[in-house]
Amino acid sequence: MNVPFVNLKIQYQSIKPEIDAAIQDVLDNAAFIMGPKVRAFEEGFARMHAATYCIGTSSGTDSLHLALWALGIGHADRVIVPVNTFIATAEAVSLCGAEPVFVDCDDYFNMDVTKLRRTLSTMSSDELAQLKGIIPVHLYGQPADMDEITALAREYGLVLIEDCAQAHCAKISGNAPLAEGKPVGTFGLVGCFSFYPGKNLGAYGEAGAVVTHDPETYKKMMLIHDHGALVRYHHDVPGHNYRMEGIQGAVLSVKLKYITSWTKRRQENASLYHELLKDVEEVTSPQIKQGRTHSFHLYVIRTKRRDDLMKYLGDHGVSTGLHYPVPLHLQKAYSHLGYQEGDFPVAEQMAGEILSLPMYPELTEEQIHFVVNQIKDFFGKKGWV
């Protein structure tokens, strides 16, 4: 048996008539940039995430840059980001001319609030004056500790932007105002999403979105994302082209009807993985923090023998991934910041142990059993399930 890491073809086949019709409508009406399909998606996505406003964008990276730009982040400013994330989180800060300040992660892969607090408390007055914002990332689909992070942002007067690129439909309960949980993206001033094809809600190309409750921030982002113009050819400020394409809006509008059921399937698949792996002491399965609804964009295990296991699985028909093998402070792109190996020990340790197993809604129980059996064989368990 071969188990792909992700299977976009099977998902397309399951909704092919709707997708084809939606794309054909865009072609028939030549609504290639923004247009009614994008507006319909923005309205639907805003409702799903309990947000007042939504703007479709050209990518998740562009969503982050748009939000920072609209909030006035610029040269000589500093913004806190987790060191354990895809580079786009820090990249958006750099694109504004600002400097990322890294914070280590916790055992749930997200920004460690204790270390965030320590970082803030040890900054000089000059450093605090330069500090303008925090970007927590809901990595792999697990919501970060937003109650605590929100409180710290308020205490230090920092703008809060959520990177929700991997966390569509993830929620936090506890003290949240909604009984079923408060969606990620609505704790900060802006929530930024990616619809890269492999995401839980994936376009057929690059696409993203920003959500907010704040009307002024919404107006600024609307202005910037379309060349600084609310009326065509009348440009109030220098902006950029961060507009969503009509075809991506059409695809996403169709998929939006299925994202809740697809998320449930991911959660069920994660539960099965967890149950089957519980007796494999060489493997640490991902844990869900209390009060969180994990959307499982990725199912990431940890093991001391990661590289050998990865090769064994690949040799036996199981595709896997690494998210992410090099923490940001050790990337050449950020060597100028002066961080050293050992500065963020948790992220560094995880980088050598993490392994992403196949995870998508259409993954079958038979496939999951096969994956786990290969893992057990590798560790000499021989206890087939």
Q: How confident is the model at residue 175 (pLDDT cuts 50, 70, 90)?
A: low
Dig out the tokens for 318 from the structure: 């199981």
Do 8-256 and 259-378 have matching folds? no
Q: What pLDDT does residue 312 have? A: 97
Q: How confident is the model at residue 382 (pLDDT cuts 50, 70, 90)?
A: low
Kindly report, residue by residue over 193-239, the tens digit of the pLDDT.
Answer: 999 999 999 999 999 999 999 999 999 999 999 999 989 899 999 99
Q: What pLDDT does residue 173 have? A: 85
Q: What pLDDT does residue 177 have? A: 46
Pinpoint the alpha helices (H) of the chain.
8-14, 16-29, 36-48, 60-70, 88-95, 113-121, 125-130, 146-155, 215-225, 246-256, 259-277, 306-315, 345-351, 365-378
**pTM for the predicted model, two decimal places:** 0.96
Q: What pLDDT does residue 344 have? A: 98
Domain at 259-378, CATH from 3.40.50.720, 3.20.20.70, 3.90.1150.10, 3.40.50.300: 3.90.1150.10
> What are the residue ranges spanned by the domains of the chain?
8-256, 259-378
Residue bearing tokens 């991902």: 286
Average pLDDT over all residues of the chain: 96
| pLDDT, average across residues 354-376 | 98
Kindly report, residue by residue over 124-163, the tens digit of the pLDDT.
Answer: 999 999 999 999 999 999 999 999 999 999 999 999 999 9
H or E segment at 210? Answer: strand 208-212
Kindly report, residue by residue over 200-211, the tens digit of the pLDDT.
Answer: 999 999 999 999
Per-residue pLDDT for 178 more than 60? no
Return the CATH fold of 8-256: Aspartate Aminotransferase; domain 2 (3.40.640)
Dig out the tokens for 264 from the structure: 């449930």
* Residue type for position 342: G
